């Protein structure tokens, strides 16, 4: 296993991630049997999860990507989002599943869901991780992989300052790394 000095401990190992993705995929396969869905990965963090999830789906999938940034610069996103990369498929009347790495305040996702619903889509959210203790927005999340405590995690798509996204496991970053600034 790739161990990195800045990681305090492994929170979720590769096997647990893989099993969790399998459970989520099975639920989606059941719920969307004979339907076609637009799977929308939220970049950059959701890319790794989405790429594992999509290969376990046995339904008709159109793949989309969306990248947004929140205007606020603090730890908690502010609500207003800026679209950096938008979806291309016409979403009117479509079933959309949003694949997200982690839901923290829920503010970002709430905005994305509202935007897609305005475009006429039926939207559900599938997140690998959730930090319920930090939730501020009451976004409806149909599929949640693992609920985690309020700790800053990296790996499997998730970053700190654009680093650590490529780790195959999910680790807790040493507090001194992110409380420096
Ligand atoms: P929210 O709008 O506060 O829910 O922010 C969600 C986004 O913040 C996620 O998609 C992640 O990109 C990022 N995020 C939240 N918590 C963490 C974490 O512990 N590690 C890495 N990124 C995180
Ligand atoms: Mg993200």
Render pLDDT for 118-150 as a digit per residue (tens, 0 to 9).
Answer: 999 999 999 999 999 988 999 999 999 999 999
| Omega cis (within 30) before 66 | no
Task: Give the phi and the psi of residue 6 in degrees, each rounded to 5.
Answer: -80, -10
Report how far ligand 1's centroid is from the alpha carbon of 102 (Å).
Answer: 6
Low-confidence residues of the chain: pLDDT under 70: 1-2, 71-79, 180-181
Residue nearest (by alpha carbon) to ligand 1 atom 16: 104
60 is catalytic: no
3-state percent helix, strand, coil for the chain, nearest multiple of 5: 25, 35, 40
Exposed / middle / buried, residue 6 (Cβ in 10 Å: 0-12, 13-18, 19+): middle
| This model's pTM is above 0.85 | yes
- Give the closest ligand to the alpha carbon of residue 154: 1
For residue 1, the model assigns a pLDDT of 63
How many beta carbons lie within 10 A of that of residue 50, not counting itself?
A: 27
The pLDDT value given to residue 70: 74
The CB of 157 under 6 Å from ligand 1? The reply is: no
Q: Is the CB of 133 under 6 A from ligand 1?
A: no
Work out which ligand 1 atom sits closest to the CA atom of 131.
Answer: 16
Alpha helices in 2-158 (DSSP H): 14-31, 47-54, 107-118
Q: Residue 144's CB: how many other CB atoms inside 10 A?
A: 16
Which ligand number lies closest to the CA of residue 47? Answer: 2
How much distance in Å is there from the Cα of 148 to the middle of ligand 2?
Answer: 16
- For the domain bounded by 15-148, which CATH number is listed? 3.40.50.2020
pLDDT of residue 4: 86
């Amino acid at each position: 296993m790739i161990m990195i000095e800045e990681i305090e401990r492994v929170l979720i190992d590769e096997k647990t991630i893989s099993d969790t993705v399998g459970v989520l995929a099975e639920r989606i396969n059941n719920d969307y049997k004979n339907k076609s869905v637009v799977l929308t990965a939220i970049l950059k963090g959701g890319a790794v999860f989405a790429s594992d999830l999509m290969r376990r789906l046995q339904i008709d999938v159109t793949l989309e990507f969306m990248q947004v940034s929140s205007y606020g610069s603090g730890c908690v996103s502010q609500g207003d989002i800026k679209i950096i990369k938008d979806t291309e498929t016409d979403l009117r009347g479509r079933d959309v599943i949003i694949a997200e790495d982690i839901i923290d305040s829920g503010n970002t996702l709430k905005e994305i869901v509202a935007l897609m619903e305005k475009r006429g889509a039926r939207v559900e959210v599938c997140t690998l991780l959730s930090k319920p203790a930090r939730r501020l927005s009451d976004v409806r999340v149909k599929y949640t992989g693992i609920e985690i405590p309020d700790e800053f995690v990296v790996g499997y798509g998730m970053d700190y300052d654009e680093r650590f996204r490529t780790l195959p496991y999910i680790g807790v970053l040493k507090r001194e790394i992110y409380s420096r600034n």
